[in-house]
Amino acid sequence: MPPRPEIRLLDRTSPPHILTLVLLAGISALSMNIFLPSLPNMTAHFGTDYRLMQLSVALYLGMNAVLQLAIGPISDRYGRRPVLLISIALFLVATLGCILAPNAGLFLAFRMAQAVIVTGMVLSRAVVRDMVDDAQAASMIGYVTMGMALVPMIGPAIGGVLDQAFGWQASFAMLLVAGLAVLALTWADLGETARPREVSLLGQFREYPELFRSRRFWGYALAAGFASGAFFAYLGGAPFVGSEVFSLNPAALGLYFGIIALGYMGGNYLAGRLSVRVGINGMILYGTLVAGAAPVISMALIGLGLAHPLAFFGVMALVGLGNGMTLPNATAGMLSVRPHLAGTASGLGGAIMIGGGAGLSALAGALLVPGRGAWPLLAIMLATSAMAVVAVLYVRRIDRLEGPPASTPPSAARPPHP
């Protein structure tokens, strides 16, 4: 493979800088959770029921999953750059609509439209695969997701401060400013990294079966889906465990809640440092085993009578650590199965993760009732982690039977179009 071109910030004739990719992924994560502390004030502002305003999360995630199915094929057909620029512009319009919405119905409509910013998360990964081969892609994706892992930790805290100082609209105003900055940076720094294909958009969607027939794709997708499912189950059940089992107040719960994100950053760092050396399948296996150890350890500690919150929340750092090792590599694996469909694979894989994770989150919430403690949640996390191990062992078996997939040179071996 020819040497990688030199990367220069704010130069569209060179591959995009990793800072641009981090911010593209980060604004998508920020949009998901910065406003959560404002939900009570938003309920009062619109004079509605709290359960209705909570739909601003569920509807956003649902639209997020649906859009990921379309973003990939569209970007494979027309290129990454125009799809990103148009999506960010639409996000800005939707964000302004959220700020100015006169009632809850219109707010929820604009909130659903905001989900278009998931393009940044999907295509930042596809751009990495355009630029480098699969092992290097896992390394770069690890660094990109390590940067964006900070956002879920600090986003709600920032939103809470803005709400207290300026009202609930301030969080959306910050998203508007951040979106403008990311739009300008993307325009200046990100040239086209994928050569637009001549296949029609309908033909592009018809190529989904090519991914569906790939056993390796399903192995990687299920490994990522089950691994992230343990995390989504935690998101759905941990607030109940913190308040009902350990009697934590909201401030303390917020501090304990963030421990898993620290582990995720550590796992991303290890993915960035070790993926090229260890290989993506090895990193996925080690990551899923580390994550699977967490619920086992927590069950043992709670079973021995340790009633401290760290017996649950502290151990969850291992789930974050394992996911940080697993997800960048599983994503790189999905994208490398059919490199000419990297955008499609990124979108489909993301939809599988979000959709499955949302279901597991709801399941955790349904099973957790007073008197059962943390056991149902820990059982779900253990089961999904075990299934992630099975999925990566399936991929390793395919490699033993058929050999590793043929390496296809990434499109960044060619200079990107300005």
CATH dotted code for 208-405: 1.20.1250.20
Return d(Cα 46, Cα 402) in angstroms, integer: 59
Greatest CA separation for the chain: 63
In this structure, the chain runs to a length of 418
Token digits of residue 317: 């750092």
What sign has the CA pseudo-torsion 21, 22, 27, 28? positive
Q: What Å distances lie between residue 171 and 160, 220, 222, CA to CA?
A: 8, 36, 35
Q: Terminus-to-terminus CA distance in the chain, angstroms? A: 22
Token digits of residue 362: 């709801």
Q: What is the pLDDT of residue 260?
A: 84
Do 132 and 334 contact (CB within 8 A), yes or no?
no
Q: Give me the numbers of helices (H) and strands (E) for the chain, helices first please.
A: 18, 0
Alpha helix (H) residue ranges in 190-316:
201-206, 208-212, 215-240, 250-257, 259-278, 280-303
- The owner of tokens 């070790």 is 274
**DSSP conformation class of 306:** -
| Nearest one of 2, 5, 27, 26 to 16, comparing CA atoms | 5
Pick the CATH number of 1-192+201-206 from 1.10.20.10, 1.20.1250.20, 1.10.357.10, 1.25.40.340: 1.20.1250.20
Q: What is the pLDDT of residue 7?
A: 62
Q: What Å distances lie between residue 21 and 17, 24, 31, 183, 261, CA to CA?
A: 7, 5, 16, 12, 20
Return d(Cα 284, Cα 395) in angstroms, integer: 10
Alpha helix (H) residue ranges in 304-403:
317-337, 342-367, 375-402
For residue 417, list its beta bridge partners: 192
Q: What is the pLDDT of residue 150?
A: 65
Do 319 and 294 contact (CB within 8 A), yes or no?
yes
Residues (pLDDT < 70) of the chain are 1-11, 13-14, 50-51, 54, 133-135, 137-138, 142, 145-150, 152-153, 196-205, 236, 250-251, 254, 342-343, 358, 361-362, 365, 405-418
Return d(Cα 320, Cα 262) in angstroms, integer: 7
Q: What is the pLDDT of residue 413?
A: 33
Q: What is the pLDDT of residue 312?
A: 94
| Nearest one of 352, 359, 344, 331 to 65, comparing CA atoms | 352
pTM: 0.71
Please give the angle made by the CA atoms of 252, 266 and 286, to the nearest 5 degrees.
Answer: 120
For residue 192, list its beta bridge partners: 417
Structural domain boundaries of the chain?
1-192+201-206, 208-405
